[in-house]
Every structure is written in structure tokens, then in C-alpha cells.
Amino acid sequence: MTGRITKLFLYLAGALALSSALAAQNDDTAIQNDAKAQAQLTLEDLRTFTDVFNQARNNYVEEVDDKTLLDAAIRGMLLELDPHSSYLPAKKYEELNDASKGRYSGIGIDVETRDGKIYVRAIINGSPADEAGLNPGDMITSINGQEVRGRYLPDAIDEIGGDPETDVVLIVQPAEGEAREVTITRAYVQVPALSYVPVGESFGYFRLTHFHNESSTHLKQSLESIKQAGTTISVLILDLRNNPGGVLRQAVGIADGFLDEGVIVSTRGRNSKMQMEFNANPGQWLPGTPVILLVDRGTASASEVLSGALQDHQRALIVGERTFGKGSVQSVLPLRNGAGIKLTTALYYTPSGRSIQAQGIEPDVAVDWEATPGMDDERIRESDLEGHLEQERAVETSVPLSEVPADYRLEEVLTALREANLYTP
């Protein structure tokens, strides 16, 4: 077996050497001009990797198969780069594609853990869990015949999800009444990302939890529907608190909806394909209407792109805390075995040339959401992550900035949010 593995890595060495030779031939001029060009791997380097591989498979305290070791090596290679590059096995790769469509395969519940127990926090309307009669506050005591008590809860929660058209058997204990066993067939569940609540006399409050492939379309349709109903929004409030991001082009689409012209965001990376710039097109959804974005330290990635674009063009007032600071672009690259990798390939820059990375977006008006009951004071930012990329210098730009709309009525807005119990996510 050891001989087979050694041959495998010698073959890998040959393939890498050939790839390196072709790359060197194609980029000969660039390499000659680059004094910092890195040396290629040698055969001795790959032999060292083979030695480590064999020592682990032969001497580790527990038996471990070759594929597990190889997958671990791949994961380790990517994790050493930065916190957001990762290996996606085939199932995770498929789940990521589903997430970009705003859906996942499961039963349609949001859960929370308390005192080593799993409770249903919320249920998606029309989901399998809704049809099975589950209710918020129900405690899940058993999953597929295995007691939850004593288990590692993240693993137990993962078991509730699964492939569509498969069953999961739960024992559910309601807050009042007897426990019951229920069999639920998993299905693709559309995750609601946008919600609307009229607040105060004429404020329109929109909560956007993440960006999927239809987010900008849904917001535009919602605004059109409100207008057709005869309602006039005097101040639009877009709540991006705890929004981790998602599909970049949807954040760009929403920014475009509030801008007539100018740069929305640019990306800069080592690969020339990652040198991109997104610009706004003429026409706004709500011209002249003041826009307020609510942000916190959980506002990240595409949410920060949207915030930075509207702030730089002075089209919106940013209210809340300094944001998370994830200013890096992850490209999802497929592999031939059905898996994929999520690789950091570029950094975001706001229209004025600011880098978001490890810095975040500073609000125009600071509001301490942490002082509100229910918020988690221990939440971290990008700069707290081990191995994070440092902030890049600003890029030169010449973006014409517009005037700030005068009437944001911020105090009225915050008072209305408190009264509507929307002061926290």
C-alpha cells in the first residue's frame, strides 16, 4: 500500500512539474519582470509530503483511511491561506449552490439550543414542519430514534436536515401537553430573506437577512406593490443587522436601485479576471426618498458593499455599529470530483476607494445595539479571526459624490422602531 501511495505522489509531482513548466513558459516574461516570483515545488518537497502522509496513516493513534487524510491535507492547505478559503466536499458544494438560490433541503425550522436542549425558534410558513404541526417553543428530544440529551448538539441539528424526499423522525415535546412522535419528509424550503413592516406614520421598514439570486428583484417588486397600494414611504429603512452577505451581484443590484450613476464597487485581485468595476445605471426606485441602513458588527461582505456604496454616494445614512470588515471576494471553483473550493481571489473597494477588509464600514450615526436586551456582546469581527488578511490601502478614484438628503428624521425612526419592537434583529 505504501508503494502505491508513493507512486501516487510521484505521479502528482510529475503533474505539478509539468503544470509548472507550462505556466513558466506561458508567463516567462512576467516572471522575469517579477523579482518576487516564488520558487516552484521540488520533488523533494513532495517526498516530504508523502513521508508525512505515510507516518500519519501508519502511526496515528486511530486508524484513518487514505481519503480522509488527503481531504484533511486539502482543507488544511486552504485554511492556512485565510479564514474564508475552504474545501467543499460534493454535498457542501451542492448546499452552497442551493443557498445562492435562497433555499435549502430540510424541514423548514429555525432552532436554538438552551441548557443542552434543542428548541424550535421559528417555522417557515408552508414548510414540511409547518404542515406537520410543529410550533415555536417545541422541544425536540429525539432525532431518528436517538436521544438528543448527551449528544453534541451541532451534529444533532445537522441530522434534522438532509436530502429532499427523505424522512426524519422526531419526538417533539410541546410547552404544554404530551410528547409526540412525528415523521416529516424533507423538501427544498425557500428561505425568506426579505420582510416588510410599515412603521410609524409613513416609514417603510425592510429586513434583509441575506442576499440570494432574487434579492434585488424581490425588493423592487415589494416597493412597486407598496406604491400600487397607494402607500407613500417618506423614509425607507433597510435593516442589514446580522446580514452575513451572499450573492454580490444582488447587493450591487440593490445599490443600483438607489443610484443613478457612478461606481458601486470595484474588486482588485492578482488575477486580471478579478479586476472588475460595477457601475450604476440611470433610474432609481425611490428618487429623493431618504434611505437609512441599520448595521452592526454582524453586517458583513455583500452587506458592507451595499452600505459602502450608498454611504460614499451619500444616498443613505448608515446607522449603528462598525460593520464586520469582510472585504474579500470568494470565488467558488468546481473540481472534477463534484466537490469545489471557496477561494479568496480579490478584495472589495468602495466607490471612494476604501478597502473594507478588516476595517468595515464606520456608521454615520453610532447606535449601540449591544445595549439592547437579547444582543450577543461576544460577537467577533473579521479583525479578530486568526489568519485574516490585513486591510489594503485605498485605491485612487475620482467618484463624484451627491448631496445628502436633508430629512432623515432619525430620532423619529428610532423611536418608531422601538415602539414596533424592531430595535433589535
pLDDT tens-digit series, residues 291-341: 999 999 889 999 999 999 999 999 999 999 999 999 988 888 999 988 999
Does the pLDDT at position 374 exceed 50? no
Percent of the chain predicted with pLDDT > 90 = 46
Question: In whole angstroms, what is the distance from residue 167 CA to residue 139 CA?
Answer: 19
Instruction: Tell me what pLDDT residue 102 has.
Output: 64
- Please compute the mean of the pLDDT values over residues 147-158 and round it to a whole number: 87
DSSP code of 137?
T
Backbone angles phi, psi at 323, to 5 degrees: -80, 180
Q: Catalytic residues, which ones?
A: 301, 312, 326
The per-residue pLDDT for range 156-201, each reduced to its tens digit, is 888 998 888 999 999 999 988 899 999 999 998 877 788 899 988 7
Instruction: Tell me what pLDDT residue 10 has.
Output: 37
Cα atoms in the Cβ-side hemisphere of radius 13 Å centred on 405 = 22
Instruction: Tell me what pLDDT residue 27 has.
Output: 42
- Please compute the mean of the pLDDT values over residues 219-223 and round it to a whole number: 95
3-class state of residue 349 by DSSP: strand
Instruction: Tell me what pLDDT residue 387 has.
Output: 60
Instruction: Tell me what pLDDT residue 376 has.
Output: 43
Instruction: Tell me what pLDDT residue 420 has.
Output: 82
* Helices marked H in 113-247: 128-131, 153-160, 215-228
The per-residue pLDDT for range 127-141, each reduced to its tens digit, is 899 999 999 899 999
Instruction: Tell me what pLDDT residue 218 has.
Output: 92
